[in-house]
Amino acid sequence: MENFINLRVERSFSDKLNATFTFARQNIKQLSITLLLLGFPLLVAGNILLLYMQTTLQQTLIENSGAFNWDYLSTMMLSMSLLMLGYFWLHLITISYMAEYADGNRNISPTAVMNRAFANLGKVLGAGIISVIIIAIGFVFLIIPGIYLSIVLSLLTLVIVMEGDPSFEAISRCFYLIKGKWWSTFGLLIIMGIIVSMMQFAFNIPTTIIAFTKAFHQELPTFDLTNILANIFSTLGLALIYPLSYIALAFQYFNLVELKESAGLKLEIEQSANTVAENQEGEY
């Protein structure tokens, strides 16, 4: 891999966007394999189950004149749970990959990423539950606090994986890092969301064509091979493209750490001092 990217530097808004796509391009093979092996299965299982619910079970509801159906409810809950778990795991996998890269690993394997992800799974899951409760409370009182807290706590997984902080310390750390930089973080996530949605559209074309064709002929969707393959193709796009937002957020995290603490600069100075000391020892 050539031209390694120094993650621990201050970056402007445009630099973070450029760095995101440069990082993705340089790591496309290793990162794609990791995402497909570790992140794709849960998402595709959840989406196929959701497709089944929207077709076969939906037809049953229509035939029963909208009568309550436990199968429909249980399948919907299972599919939603799988999808939520899939997005959570995809996020953790992407951040774990970034952590391996930040630690100097230049031949990142899915095994290394999985080991790091599992090592942080408990802390991230616990902190995630706490953050969901905090954000929910924010939305209950007013919409704006909920939005504010959502952006602040978007850094939570990064703080835990990169720094190893436990839940409450990590939450406090998020508020510290984002202070004065909330709007830039919000803007970065919005722009990346738009870009990712536009890129994902290409993977949604088959499902869109199938849905349009069914609607044109006034037919209900069916759980058949064509629909399943189109759904898998759409999920493939999610697994490969959605992590771009997480990568951009990681660059924002390193940018905030550098702005607040100059951690990268201190590390460079320390490494330079060690190199000079070694050279001087060699002269004697």
CB atoms within 10 A of CB 31: 24
Asked if residue 283 is part of any domain, the answer here is no
Give the pLDDT of residue 267.
57
Q: Which two tokens stand for residue 186?
A: 């919000």
Give the pLDDT of residue 222.
77
Asked if residue 223 is part of any domain, the answer here is yes
Residue 220, SS3 per DSSP: coil
Asked if residue 2 is part of any domain, the answer here is no
Asked if residue 1 is part of any domain, the answer here is no
3-state secondary structure 139-181: HHHCHHHHHHHHHHHHHHHHHHHHHCCCHHHHHHHHHHHHCCC
Specify whether the CB–CB gap between 198 and 205 falls below 8 A.
no
Count CA atoms within 13 Å of residue 212 on its CB side: 6
Q: Among 75-79, 107-111, 170-174, whose mean pLDDT is lowest?
A: 75-79
Structural domain range at position 23: 13-277
Asked if residue 265 is part of any domain, the answer here is yes
Give the pLDDT of residue 62.
62
Asked if residue 6 is part of any domain, the answer here is no
- Provide the pLDDT confidence category of residue 273 given band limits of 50, 70 and 90: very low
Structural domains counted in the chain: 1
CA dist., res. 28 & res. 240, Å (int): 9
CA dist., res. 79 & res. 45, Å (int): 8
Is it the case that residue 281 has pLDDT exceeding 60?
Answer: no
* Verdict on whether the full-model pTM lies above 0.75: yes
Specify whether the CB–CB gap between 76 and 64 falls below 8 A.
no
Tens of pLDDT, residues 192-214: 999 999 999 999 999 889 888 87
Q: Which two tokens stand for residue 20?
A: 């995101």
Give the pLDDT of residue 280.
52
Most confident among 49-58, 106-115, 161-170 (mean pLDDT): 106-115
Q: Spell out where the chain has E strands.
A: none
Give the pLDDT of residue 213.
87
Is it the case that residue 158 has pLDDT exceeding 50?
Answer: yes
Asked if residue 264 is part of any domain, the answer here is yes
Tens of pLDDT, residues 97-151: 999 999 988 889 999 999 999 999 999 999 889 888 988 888 887 778 889 999 9
Asked if residue 186 is part of any domain, the answer here is yes
Is it the case that residue 276 has pLDDT exceeding 50?
Answer: no
Residue 221 gets the label, from left (phi > 0), alpha (psi -120 to 50) or beta, of: beta
Residue 66 gets the label, from left (phi > 0), alpha (psi -120 to 50) or beta, of: left
